[in-house]
Structure 1
Amino acid sequence: MSVTTSFLVQALIAFVGVLVVAGLLAWSLKQDPRSLRNGFLLIVLLHYVLGFLVFVVSSTRALETAAEVVSLIVRCVIGLGLLLLPLLLIADGVLMLRRERRSLGNALSLLTGLALLLLPAVLVVLVRHENPVTGGLAVGLLTAEACAGLLFLVFVVHTALYARLARRAPARAIVVLGAGLVNGAVSPLLAARLRSALNAAEARARSGERPLFVPSGGRGGDEPVAEGDAMAEWLRQHGVDTEDILVEDRARTTRENLRYSVELLQENGHEGPYVIVTNNYHAPRAAMLARRLGIDAQAIGAPTARYFWPSAYLREFVAVMLEHRQLLTWAGLLVVSTSVLVGWSLRAGAAVPG
């Protein structure tokens, strides 16, 4: 077989691999764009595509040199980003705690930044002890960091992909999730959700749809009116006809928002699909919850203040991982088994004389 023929065969095999993974991703998206597996499949697809491109450009010296330059630039940018990330997270965490109430959820960006900053020092201390226990712990920590990084990357890719798909989802009704009132009035955060609902309805009106608005939220202990009623009044003040609004005024949690809203819609003869409006950091988890409840709905997100977004996004990541316990179980088993195996290997090596 000639060199050219061999190259073409290998390129064809690599291209077939790209097509297979792309087909799996297309099938998964058609099955349900809310599934977390879409993020994993997109990462695998990008890996295959990059591998194919590297293989192709390696065929000529000029292309290979250009690819090496691009690769060097990308590595430098990624390296600089990883070095700055802990500092940026710490700065954002401090700002978050100054502007918002102090809680574990609001401190997540600060705690994550500190953890990323302290981890190398902890690893150095463990490795310097030069014994099987600390060596195993060091490898276990590295494995845990790698697993957490991979799961977070899957979550990031999934949320970015899902946000693009959900914007175009059809809707016979738009359910707006409550977010608390301020002195009985719609808060700026809640107003952002309502404006996003209006924009979503306007976009769907151009394709001939006229979705119903379902402001959803019960009355808190310190609120003079139910969130659903306050949101309905806001919508009326912004030009929405009363007959296009169906108020849900009992819900106190996201699960109740979805369940009660859908029950109300179906009682009034309005079947899915629906669109759920919340904040951008919360939209993927709201969509996953709708999936578990068997609701035909996609979720879109309203903009969030930049300083608020990192901690909120990390909180959503933690919540989604807790809902995917099988992933955490497999990651935990990998961390423990790797740590134990390395500890045993180091102990066996130390026991060998000479």
Structure 2
Amino acid sequence: MFLEVITFILLIIFLVFYLRDPRSLIIGFLFNLFFCSFLILFVYLGFSSDHAIFRIIAAIPLFIIGFMLTFGIFALMIGLFLNARVLMRKEGRRFSNCLTLLAGLGILFSIVFLIVEPTRFLSPHFGPIFSGVFFIIVYFFFHLSNFLTAYFLYQFNRPRRNQDFIIVLGSGLINDKVPPLLASRINKAIDFYWKQAAVSFPPTIIFSGGQGPDENLPEAEAMQMYAVEKGIPTQHTIKEDRSVNTYQNMLFSKQIMDSRKEGKYNSIFTTNNFHLFRAGLYAKEAGLNSQGIGSKTAFYYWPNAMIREYIAIVVMGRKRHIKVVGVILGFSILLTTISFLFS
């Protein structure tokens, strides 16, 4: 009875936060808490049953978890190496395309470190330092799991077709033309535009993107021309050509919408699905009550993009992470110092 109540309460708490605003890492944390509680309840009820079939079903999650802990890390490492090879072959050998390779090497180094166990060659006094590093890794593991869960849940966002504005986030031009990555964002907005126009009224599309140092025209202008060529009426488009990053995309677009509708409007934004959650965080930071819809990304590009997104999420919360890591390392160094002094 206790487990059922706890699981139900965690579900209610998660739903309240998620329905109020899914643009938060706390959503991932709350869902993970609920899922763990549900999993424990599921296994407990299964093994408490007198029916063998229920016990077998209850053992399946334990088998999956055991398999992932045993072989999952090796499969992930191999998958990262294979993805890095495909990505660099298709997108070039730029550093930004090497993140999956670096992640795979990081896992390989960790496995070798655990096998060799170099700590045995050092003084036992350094034990607190290695314990501190372990707790830092655990901290970021849980932070990553919360991010992945929140990211996954945000993909289910389905805004109503009563939007006054659609913000299309820029991502850079190639030879002053709209590249495929940016085109997918515009096409997502165009698709939503026509679907809403068919049932209610046509929204206004805001193309948000300034002019880069290697570009001869603002992104917003190239994006607008692309959409007009696809049949979107010019009078239903607006150019926001000052922004140079996602936060400014949201902030400057909000200023345009506020000036036109005096703060009373509905809006959404479009971007690639891997960028969707972080863009939502920037929208929230800019004070914009707008949810997003994501365009599809090539599967081979997704792992590298997700690593980049997570790094950006960590940078967004760098002050909190520095405090946590600083406290852990500081306490570890203090214990190490005490150990040397009183040995």
Q: Name the TM-score, length of structure 1 as normaliser.
A: 0.85
Map 1:1-354 → 2, pairs under 5 A: 11=1, 13-61=2-50, 62=52, 63-77=54-68, 79-100=70-91, 102-123=93-114, 124-129=116-121, 131-166=123-158, 171-205=163-197, 208-269=200-261, 271-325=264-318, 327-329=320-322, 331-332=324-325, 335-336=328-329, 339=332
Cα shift readout 1:205-252 (whole Å, capped 9, x = no counterpart): 465353211111122233232211111111111121112111222222
Greater shift, 298-307 or 102-111, is seen at 102-111
**Partner secondary structure for residue 182 of structure 1:** coil
What is the alpha-carbon distance in structure 2 between the residues aligned to residue 262 and residue 70 of structure 1? 46
Change in Cα spacing, 1:269 to 1:283, as seen in structure 2 (3 Å) is same
| Length, aligned pairs only | 339
Secondary structure at 1:278 match in 2: strand
Deviation at residue 73 of structure 1 after TM alignment: 4.0
Kindly provide the CA deviation profile for residues 262-288 of structure 1, in whole angstroms up to 9, marking residues without a partner as x: 222222337433111111111111110
Letter in 1 for 2:295: A
Q: Which amino acid aligns with 1:25?
A: F
Which stretch has the larger CA shift, 322-331 or 249-258? 322-331
SS in 2 for 1:281: helix
Give the match's secondary structure for 1:180: coil
SS at match of 1:179: coil
Pair 1:236–1:128, CA change in 2 (3 A): same
CA distance in 2 between partners of 1:257 and 1:341 (Å): 45
Q: In structure 1, what is the Cα distance between the partners aligned to 2:35 and 2:306?
A: 23
- Specify the SS of the correspondent of 1:224: coil
**Given the superposition, is the C-alpha separation of residues 118 and 170 from structure 1 closer, same or farther in structure 2, using an over 3 Å criterion?**
farther
Partner SS for 1:58 = helix
Structure 2 SS opposite 1:48: helix
Q: Residue 68 of structure 1: SS of its match in structure 2?
A: helix
CA shift for structure 1 position 147: 1.8
Deviations 1:3-33 (A, max 9, x none): xxxxxxxx2x211111211121122123321
Normalising to structure 2: TM-score of the pair? 0.87
Question: Matched residues in 2 for 1:241 and 1:193: separation?
Answer: 18
- Provide the secondary structure at the position in 2 that maps to 1:299: strand
Is residue 80–residue 103 contact of structure 2 (8 Å, CA) maintained in 1? yes
Secondary structure of the 2:48 match is coil
- CA offsets per residue over residues 95-147 of structure 1, 9 Å max, x none? 43444455554322211111111113224333332632443343333323222
TM-superposed deviation, 1:157: 0.3
Q: CA deviation at 1:306?
A: 2.5
Q: Contact 2:176/2:215 (CA < 8 Å) preserved in 1? A: yes
Amino acid at match of 1:213: I
1:211 and 1:78, CA in 2 relative to 1: closer, same or farther beyond 3 A? Answer: farther
Unaligned runs of 5+ in 2: none
